[in-house]
Amino acid sequence: MKLTVLIDNNTLIDRYFLGEPGVSYLIQDSNIQVLFDVGYSDAFIQNANKMNIKLLNTDFVVLSHGHFDHTWGLVPLIKLYTEAHIEKLKCRNPVLVAHPLVFNTKSMADINEIGSIISKEKLSKHFSLKLSKNPFWLTKKLVFLGEIERSNDFENKEPLGKVHNDKIEDDYLLDDSALAYKSSSGLVIITGCSHSGICNIIEYAKKVCKEDKVVDVIGGFHLLKPSDKQLNGTLAYFQKLKSKELHACHCVDLNSKIALSKVGNLREVGVGLSLDYK
């Protein structure tokens, strides 16, 4: 499997790409191409073009959760595919994979919409939808985890804004999910923001994949000014995990990265980074 960072908060030095507070990864496993999250704007498309990556060859578009820094790039992606159809360009018809609640309206304080601005109904006119709470295998080795079991007492204890279901209620991000890849050396965990808890995600991935060894974790760990309980619980977990590498990015603050570097092999992440796993 090859993973390429199309969008992150940071860009690599001497690589002239666009960065923004968001996430988008291009994952290639055998002949299957997966776009994991689409960032906030069309920046991921511009970066992909510079890297000579053909987004029209995508088989699956996977959304980690419904927040705007992971889904608002759907609008330019729809434009890309619509224009390709108009020009009769060769392209695949991707399936969009996500949790069933991913398109619910989300709000915070004075911001009335921090969730997807494309409804499920509108999106279904452009892409086939696979909305699942259960794990869904994209390839023989790569799985969308579905709804994450929350099994510890230090993560996902505070809501983040409101979610609009049949009623407006505190949002504990039940739609937050991730990917796991079964490499020959162990699991690679790929996350968006880890609102459901990075440790919860890893434990659930182990259960789904029937594999205890983890070689890498890449993505947001949702460690932005975390409570002492959350940070200490996370550090203790990673100290026991002993993964080969950690690629913490996006929603991980500097203090948390410094702390993580003391319990794991923390590596740099930025737009343009490519990682290969066998």
Judged on CB neighbours under 10 Å (0-12, 13-18, 19+), 119 is: exposed
Which residues of 22-141 form beta strands (DSSP E)? 24-29, 32-36, 60-62, 95-98, 105-107, 128-131, 136-137
pLDDT category at 253 given cuts 50, 70, 90 is very high
pLDDT digits (tens, 9 = 90+) for 176-193: 999 999 999 999 999 999
Q: How many CB atoms lie within 10 A of CB 92?
A: 14
- Are the CB atoms for 25 and 70 separated by under 8 Å? no
Quick check: helix, strand or coil at residue 228? Answer: helix
CATH, residue 246: 3.60.15.10
Residue 165 has pLDDT above 90, yes or no: no
- Are the CB atoms for 93 and 127 separated by under 8 Å? yes
Q: How many CB atoms lie within 10 A of CB 52?
A: 6
Bridge-partner residues for 142, per DSSP? 181
* β-strand pairing of 142-144 with 136-137: antiparallel
Stated pTM of the model: 0.97
Residue 123 has pLDDT above 90, yes or no: yes
Work out the average pLDDT over 137-149: 98
Query: From CA 268, how far away is CA 42, in angstroms rounded?
Result: 24
Average pLDDT of every residue of the chain: 97
Distance of CA 143 to the CA centre of its chain: 13
Range of the domain at 43: 2-276
Give residue 120's pLDDT: 96
Query: From CA 120, how far away is CA 125, in angstroms rounded?
Result: 9
Question: How many domains does the chain contain in total?
Answer: 1
Judged on CB neighbours under 10 Å (0-12, 13-18, 19+), 23 is: buried
